[in-house]
Homo-oligomer: A and B are copies of this chain.
Amino acid sequence: MSQQIDFYFDFSSPYGYLASERIEGIASRQGHLVIWHPILLGAVFRVTGQGPLTEIPVKGGYAIRDFQRSAREHDLIYSHPEVFPVGAVSACRATLWLRDHQDPSVQAKTGQFVHAVYRAYFAQGQDITQASVIAELADSLQLDSQALLTALANQVLKDALRREVDQAIDRGVFGSPMMFIGDEPFWGHDRLEQLERWISSGGW
Contacts and interface: CB of A to CB of B under 8 A. Distances in A.
Contacts of A66: 187
B194 A73 contact: yes
A196 to B, nearest CB: 12
Given A72-B204, A73-B204, A197-B73, A58 B190 contact: no
Contacts of A49: 56-57
A69 B184 CA distance: 10
A62 B187 contact: yes
Given A73-B197, A197-B73, A57 B47 contact: yes
A59 interface: yes
A42 interface: no
A2 to B, nearest CB: 24
A52 to B, nearest CB: 13
A6 B2 CA distance: 44
A66 B185 CA distance: 9
Nearest to A65: B185
Interface string A68-82: 011011000000000
Interface string A36-59: 000000000001111000001111
Contact of A56 (B48, B58, B59, B190): B48
Interface of A: 47-50, 56-59, 61-62, 65-66, 69-70, 72-73, 169, 172-175, 185, 187-188, 190-191, 193-194, 197, 204
23 contacts: A47-B57, A48-B56, A48-B57, A48-B59, A50-B56, A56-B174, A58-B169, A58-B172, A59-B174, A59-B175, A61-B172, A62-B174, A62-B185, A65-B185, A70-B194, A72-B204, A73-B194, A73-B197, A73-B204, A190-B190, A190-B191, A190-B194, A193-B193
